[in-house]
Amino acid sequence: MARVDALSCEQVSPSNPFPPQLEDVEHMLGYTFRRKVLLIEALTHASYQNDSYHTASYERMEFLGDSILDLIVNDFLYRVPGKNYSPGHIYLRKIAVVNMHLLAYLCLNARTKKAAISPRPNPETGIIEETREEHEINLFNCLLHTSPRVLDDQINAYSRYKKMRFEIGHALTEGKTYPWAALTKLQAPKFFSDIIESLIGAVYLDSHGDMAVIRNVMKEIGILQVLEHIVVDDVDVLHPISRLSVWAQKAGKELDFRVERKEANVICRIFIGGTELECARTTSFHRGKVSREEVKFAAAEAAIKELKLRDVGVRHDALKQKKTRSKEKGKEKLEEKTLQAT
C-alpha cells in the first residue's frame, strides 16, 4: 500500500490538472475515487506519452482486477441458493462472465450523458443563442493513449458493436443460449476488456478491498446482471467448440478444425472423421487473431445446429479437471523456471 499512498499525495494544480474524463468514468462506475491517480493509472494505455503524474500503464492493475472478478463471480456461484453447483458447473458459468469478449462488449456498452451549453442560431430570428445539449460519453473513449492503431481499433470495434448491440443485449438478458459467436464477431481487441478489469482493480485499491463497493461497480457495468440471468434462467453457457469436441470424443470420431488465410479472408472448415462438414464452412474478413477465433466459433455453432447437439449432455466436471491439470502443469513449469533463476 506504500505505493498507493505515495500516489495519493499527488496534488492537482492549474499546471497539472486531472484529465477531464475522470468525472465521466466515475459516473459510469457509480463510484467516486478518493485517490484520483489510481483512476488515471487504470485508464493509461502503454502507448500514452503525456503522463504528468508518472503513473504506470494499467497492466498491473488489470491483472489485479482479473483476480478480483474471478473471486467475486466464483463466490456468487458457490453460494447460489438451491443450486449447489459442482466445480465444473461453477467453472463453465464463470468463464461465460469473465472472458474478454463479454467484458469488451460491456466496455463498448458503457456510456453516460453530459450536458453542455453550445451557441446555436435560432432558425426563426437568426440570433445566436445558448442551447443546452446532451453529449454521449463512451467509456472506451476515456482511455488515455497516443496510438493511431488504438484509435482505429476503437472506431472499428464501435462500428461493429452498433450493428450487433441489440442482438447481444437481448441474448445476455433474455436468451436461453449464451451468445459466444455473436460476442466474438465484435472482434474487439484485448484493451477493451483490460479497461474493465483495470477499473475494478483500481476500485479495489481505492476502497481498501471493500467487496460491497466492488460488487456495486460490477452491477453498474452490467456484469452481475449477466451472471444473475445465467443462473436464474439456467442459460446454456457451454462453449460451442467444447460442446463439439465432447460430442466427437463420446462418439469416437476424430474432430479437426482447419483455419486458413485466403487473400483478404480467413476460412474455417470442420472435418469429422476425415470428412468435411460443408454446412459448417465459415468465412470472414481477416483481422488477425480475433477474426480467426470468430470463424471457429461460427463454424462450431453451424456444426452444432446441423448435428442437433444443443441438448447433448456433457460431463462438466471432466472439462474442469482437464483445465485444472493444464493449470497445474503450467504452475510446475513456472516454479521450475523460478528455481533456476534463483
Q: How far is CA 242 from CA 45, 258, 308, in A?
A: 33, 16, 15
- Which residue has 442459460 as its cell numbers? 235
Please say whether the dihedral angle defined by the alpha carbons of residues 171, 177, 179 and 181, taken in this order, is positive or negative.
negative
- Euclidean distance between CA atoms 274 and 289, whole angstroms: 26
Cβ–Cβ under 8 Å, residues 190 and 66: no
CATH class of 2-7+19-112+141-237: mainly alpha
Helix ranges (DSSP H) in 30-173: 36-42, 59-79, 87-97, 100-109, 148-173
What residues does each domain of the chain span?
2-7+19-112+141-237, 241-324
* Cα 57 from Cα 198, distance rounded (Å): 10
Burial class (CB within 10 angstroms; exposed 0-12, middle 13-18, buried 19+) of 113: exposed
- Model confidence, pTM: 0.80
Strands 282-285 and 275-276: unpaired
> Cα(47)–Cα(55) distance, rounded to whole angstroms?
13
One-letter amino acid for residue 261 of the chain: R
At residue 144, what are phi and psi to the nearest 5 degrees?
-90, 115
Strand 255-262 vs strand 265-272: parallel, antiparallel, or unpaired?
antiparallel
Which SS3 state, helix, strand or coil, does residue 129 take?
Answer: strand
Successive 10-residue mean pLDDT values, the chain, 342 residues? 48 62 96 95 92 82 97 96 93 95 97 76 73 84 95 96 96 94 90 98 97 97 97 93 91 92 89 92 77 85 87 49 48 45 40
**Cell match 463471480: residue?**
73
Q: Are 237 and 178 in contact (CB under 8 A)?
A: yes
- 111-121 and 265-272: which strand pairing? unpaired
Cβ within 8 Å of residue 184, ≥6 positions away = 101, 290, 293, 294, 297, 298
Amino acid letter, 106: L
Grid cell 494499467 is found at 58
Q: Which fold does the domain 241-324 belong to in CATH? A: Double Stranded RNA Binding Domain (3.30.160)
Residue written as grid cell 481498501: 208
Residue 131 CB neighbours (<10 A) = 12
Q: How far is Cα 90 from Cα 316, in angstroms, rounded to an integer?
A: 9
Cell of 48: 500514452
160/182 Cα distance (integer angstroms): 11
Whole-number Å distance between alpha carbons of 111 and 105: 12
CB 178 within 8 A of CB 230: yes
Alpha-carbon distance 159 to 201, whole Å? 28
User: Residues with Cβ < 8 Å from 301, sequence gap 6 or more?
Assistant: 180, 181, 240
